[in-house]
Every structure is written in C-alpha cells, then in structure tokens.
Amino acid sequence: MKVTKKDGSQEDFDRNKIVAGALKSGASQEEAEKVAGQVEAWARSVEGGVVASDDIAAKVAGALRAFNPGAASSFEAYRASKTK
C-alpha cells in the first residue's frame, strides 16, 4: 500500500505512524493499536492500493473518536495547526 502525501510524493503505508500519532494525542497503547488496525484494514480495501494522507488522518480521527474523544480532539487540533 502507498500513501500520497500533500506534496504529491508517495511512501509506503506505515501503521506505526498511526500508532505514534494516536499515542501523542493521548490514546492508550491499546486504543492506538485498535485505531491503527481499523485504518489499516480500510486502507487495504481501497481500490488501487493508494490512499491520501488526508484521508488517513480523517479515518484516524473518526476511529479515535469512538475510543477516546479527548484524544480525537487533540489529534484534530494538531492536524489543523500543521495546515496553517
């Protein structure tokens, strides 16, 4: 699976980045692993095997919201600050 970044470059999908982002947002290790598993399963189902980094971030936020709304808010605030 490949991820298309905002600058148009592509890199391999790395579930560890999802886990790290969820942990930094305040999720527990167990929550972060569940989120990464859900997002990875979704990404594998995407036709063509290429997903946009923004789509991954949206899926992470949605999955986090189900497990830990506070961590989801923190994750979304961090993403919003990066785009300014």
Amino acid at 48: G
Range of the domain at 58: 2-82
Confidence band (pLDDT; 50, 70, 90) for 2? very high
Torsion on CA atoms 44, 50, 52, 55, rounded to nearest 10: -20
User: Could you give phi then psi for residue 52, rounded to 5 degrees?
Assistant: -85, 145
pLDDT of 75 above 70: yes
Q: Exposure of 73 by Cβ count < 10 A (0-12 exposed, 13-18 middle, 19+ buried)?
A: middle
Domains contained in the chain, number: 1
What is the predicted pLDDT for the residue at 84? 59
Question: What's the rounded Cα separation, in Å, for the pair 10 and 68?
Answer: 30
Residue with tokens 């923190």: 74
Q: Mind listing the pLDDT tens digit for each residue in 22-69?
A: 999 999 999 999 999 999 999 999 989 999 999 999 999 999 999 999
